[in-house]
Amino acid sequence: MKQFKRIIGMSMLAFSLAGCQLLGYNQKTEVNPPVEIPDNTGVVDTPPQIVKTTDWNDILSPVVNKILQSSSAIEGNKVLLISDIQNRSGDYLATNQIDTTLHNILNKQSIFSVADRQSISQAKQALGISVDDKLVSRSKMIGLAKSINAGYVLFTTLYKLPAENEDANLSMELLSTQTGEILQRVTTKDIQSQNSVNHAQGAAE
């Protein structure tokens, strides 16, 4: 009898354990999806820089016109060499912009005959002058003018580039190829002074 009770007890214990295991298997484990953390460290777009372009026509035209007004009595060889720009500003200068502007302005006048660029380029090669020569001088440009039989040189020196609140500072000289003499010299400061006088006179009237 005792043995029978023992068998029943063990059977009940076995059923109890089996039931616990089944319950454990039937429980579902919930897996939460990963939480996405917003990334606030995105790349901030840099606003485009506005590059101010220089209106060289506006700067050079009054100076050239002043030179021409004083050169109306020029006689003889009227071939004019537009020299390379002598840059004394200490800043980088795209001299081709000034050169192009000067040619465009002077090609519209009738006092001088402007030497063509091809002739100038060939003469530079013959004289060993670099295309981007940094040591521009009056004597070198006069020698270049003589080699192409130009009677005059328009020699430009830049002292200061135009800035946001400052005007350009430059001078322009008309040189005689034969004598090396400076026949005319006009600066941007001369033009500014004349404009101030004209403005004052206009206000007085």
Q: Render pLDDT for 154-168 as a digit per residue (tens, 0 to 9).
A: 999 999 999 888 899
Contacts of 134 (CB under 8 A, 6+ apart): 87
What is the reported pTM?
A: 0.71
| Cα–Cα dist 145/131, whole Å | 15
Angle, to 10 degrees, between the axis of helix 117-127 and the axis of helix 138-147?
110
- Domain ranges across the chain: 56-199
Structure tokens at 183: 């026949």
Q: Render pLDDT for 77-116 as a digit per residue (tens, 0 to 9).
A: 999 999 999 999 998 888 889 999 999 999 999 999 999 9
Q: Render pLDDT for 31-84 as a digit per residue (tens, 0 to 9).
A: 566 656 655 555 555 555 544 678 999 999 999 999 999 888 888 899 999 999
Among 98, 76, 77, smallest CA distance to 87 is for: 98
> DSSP assignment, residue 31?
-
| Cα–Cα dist 9/184, whole Å | 130
Q: Which CATH class is domain 56-199?
A: alpha beta
| DSSP state letters, 125-136 | HHHT--TT-S--
**Residue with structure tokens 């897996």?**
31
Residue 14: predicted pLDDT: 57
